[in-house]
Amino acid sequence: MKTFFHPLLPAPALLCLIGIATLAAPPATANDPTRKPNIVYILADDLGYGDVHCLNPERCKITTPHMDQLAADGIIFTDAHSSSSVCTPTRYSILTGRYNWRSKKQGGVLHGFDQPLIAPDRVTVAGFLKEQGYNTACIGKWHLGLGLPTIDGKATRGKNADNVDWRGRINGGPVDLGFDYYCGISASLDMPPYIFIENDHFVGEATATKEFHPRRVGPAHPDLEAVDVLPEISRQTVQYIQRQQADNPFFMYVALTSPHTPLVPSKEWQGKSQLGTYGDFVMQTDAIIGEITTAVDASRFAENTMIIVTSDNGCSAKPAKASELQKAGHYPSGEFRGYKSDLWDGGHRVPFIVRWPAGVEAGSVSDQTICLTDLMATSAELAGSSMPQSIGEDSVSFAPALKGKPIVSSRQGVIHHSISGRFAYRQGKWKLLLTAGSGGWTKEKMPPGTTRQLYDMEADPGEQVNLYAKHPEVAQRLLAQLQSDVRRGRSTDGPDLSNDVQVKLKAR
């Protein structure tokens, strides 16, 4: 596996390579709580709410000591949601502060050869923080489309392509969207091309053919093996942290490839969980988070560095063999119904842990509802800046909750979205689903005549008692608010904006 940073280079050459400042500040300023905090945002891939032991102590049989320790040292958000129950849409929303379904992508996910989903003039969290003086880096899985260079000048698209120019410049990727540095792969680890990218170029050429997922054979770098990718993401992240200077804040978006398929735990983790390959991979994911945390702790700026750990959606039931895990006493979705792809909470209620010694009281818990769209507004507030009303139109700052205070929000509720493009709306304790079933891959027999669903999430977090017929006035109120949020092009206060396409509230 190629190492992208070059430790034998002289320090000035190395710092030029990764685009960071070369002057160190006096150590005394590094942990000043009045300074803008560093932000390390770690996004796991398909990690279920119930896969983190401290979030599901009675029914989690996987040990996750590093995430548990982060929670003990920081704050747990028990009601955090990804904007979608699948990965590409969620990543769009994290980086833009905008609901994914406002884009041209109304369902499903992108593949490794698809074109960029984020418009070139769209301000991202990274771009915004860069304007506030932050160094910005993205390490890991991108999965938001790339303008890959081609031999014939025709755009690549879909699951495979044979016209890629492996030496050309990649457009529309992280370094064109606000990140100073990028190292990672184009999409999920089970999607070709199987080759690393550094900044805007491939690292080498994909001259081999490999298959990390059945029926997804494609071009690959001869030296790249799936089992090496997660450790490499950790190495790149740790090295970047180690090279940061105390006088300049930084933002890192670390997108892990686990525990998504292919389930490829390293040899030292195989068999550790006694729950199969998925359990082993979750344990390794936790260990990787521990390595990143250790790097922060060894720095001069640990006190004023915020580490956020979350997931892009819930556990993927089929590859994880969820039914077998449950027989062994492990419930990847905790007490919640459904899995990845679904509108039920198991599809999008995600772990969300924040450690920030200078700003968060250890052992805190918040049950306030937040969404992964909220990174942009939160980052703006923590950076001491105002966010223009033309960006982050679905983003609300959860910064007050870090101090145990109520979140101040003009957003009336949170919108959920499934892989098939179905919608749900959550406001307070109420949740309305515009579908008769899961809206995703989970197939459960519903009572005859079911058309829509309404649940009291305080009394019934497992979504078992459908109150749609009993409380039509609540359902109608939530539907009207959802329709308004869609029509206005935003869910927060401000001038109306436009969706990229006409958005239809599918119901089935």
In a domain, 23, yes or no: no
**Longest Cα pair distance anywhere in the chain, in angstroms?**
70
**d(C-alpha 101, C-alpha 117), whole Å:** 11
Please identify, among 411, 432, 450, the residue that sits at the C-terminal boundary of a domain.
Answer: 411
Which of 382, 411, 440 is a domain's end point? Answer: 411
Question: Residue 321: left if φ>0, alpha if ψ -120 to 50, beta else—which one?
Answer: left
d(C-alpha 132, C-alpha 237), whole Å: 22
Contact 138, 255 (CB under 8 A): yes
In this structure, the answer to whether residues 159 and 225 fall within a common structural domain is: yes
Residue 13 lies in a domain: no
Check whether residue 368 and residue 430 sit in a common domain. no
> For residue 31, what pLDDT is reported?
61
Q: Does residue 269 share a domain with residue 352?
A: yes
Q: Is residue 232 part of a domain?
A: yes
The residues, ordered by sequence, that sit 6+ positions from 338 with a Cβ below 8 Å of its Cβ are 314, 344, 345, 346, 347, 438, 440, 442, 463
How far, in whole angstroms, is CA 326 from its chain's centroid? 25
Identify whether the C-beta of residue 357 lies closer than 8 Å to the C-beta of residue 303.
yes
Give the single-character DSSP code of 387.
P
| Burial (CB count <10 Å: 0-12, 13-18, 19+), residue 298 | exposed
Structural domain contains residue 382:
yes
Residue 26 included in any domain: no
Does the residue 99 lie in any domain?
Answer: yes
Q: For residue 176, what are the CA distances in angstroms to 5, 21, 138, 204?
A: 21, 20, 12, 21
Collapsing DSSP states into helix, strand and coil, what is residue 307?
strand
- Of 214, 223, 169, the C-alpha closest to 191 is 214
DSSP 462-482: T--S--TTT-HHHHHHHHHHH
Count Cα neighbours of 68 within 13 Å in the Cβ-side half-sphere.
13
Residues 252 and 201 in one domain: yes
Number of residues in the chain: 508
Q: How far apart are CA 361 and CA 39, in angstroms?
A: 17
C-alpha distances in angstroms, 192 versus 51, 145, 163, 283?
Answer: 28, 12, 13, 26
Do residue 77 and residue 226 come from a single domain?
yes
How far apart CA 50 and CA 144 sit, in angstroms, is 27
Q: Are residues 355 and 447 in the same domain?
A: no
Buried b (16+ CB within 10 A) or exposed e, 315-330: bbbebbbbeebeeeeb
Q: Are residues 343 and 455 in the same domain?
A: no
Establish if 405 belongs to a structural domain: yes
| pLDDT score recorded for residue 17 | 36
Domain count within the chain: 2
3-state secondary structure of 399: helix
Same domain, 371 and 447: no
377 and 426 housed in the same domain: no
Residue 214: the pLDDT is 87
CATH of the domain at 434: 3.30.1120.10
Tell me, yes or no, whether 170 and 303 share the same domain. yes
Range of the domain at 422: 415-487
- Residue 388: inside a domain: yes
CATH number of the structural domain spanning residue 297: 3.40.720.10
The tens place of each residue's pLDDT in the chain, 508 residues long, gives 444 433 322 332 222 333 333 333 344 355 665 689 999 999 999 999 999 999 999 999 999 999 999 999 999 999 999 999 999 999 999 999 999 999 999 999 999 999 999 999 999 999 999 999 999 999 999 999 999 999 999 999 998 999 999 999 999 999 999 999 999 999 999 999 999 999 999 999 999 999 999 889 999 999 999 999 999 999 999 999 999 988 899 999 999 999 999 999 999 999 999 999 999 999 999 999 999 999 999 999 999 999 999 999 999 999 999 999 999 999 999 999 999 999 999 999 999 999 999 999 999 999 999 999 999 999 999 999 999 999 999 999 999 999 999 999 999 999 999 999 999 999 999 999 999 999 999 999 999 999 999 999 999 999 999 999 999 999 999 999 999 999 999 999 999 999 999 999 975 5
Residues 419 and 457 in one domain: yes
Q: Distances from the Cα of 253 to the Cαs of 21, 174, 415, 468, 472, in angstroms? A: 19, 10, 23, 40, 42
Burial category of 499 from C-beta neighbours within 10 Å (exposed 0-12, middle 13-18, buried 19 and up): middle
Domain boundary among 352, 383, 411: 411
Residues in a beta bridge with 44 = 311
Distance in angstroms (rounded) separating the CA atoms of residues 36 and 148: 35
Rounded to 10 degrees, the C-alpha dihedral 330/334/337/342 comes to -90
Domain check: are 258 and 278 in the same one? Answer: yes
**Angle at Cα 301 formed by Cα 295 and Cα 307, nearest 5°?**
60
What's residue 1's pLDDT?
42
Cis peptide before 357 (omega within 30 of 0): no
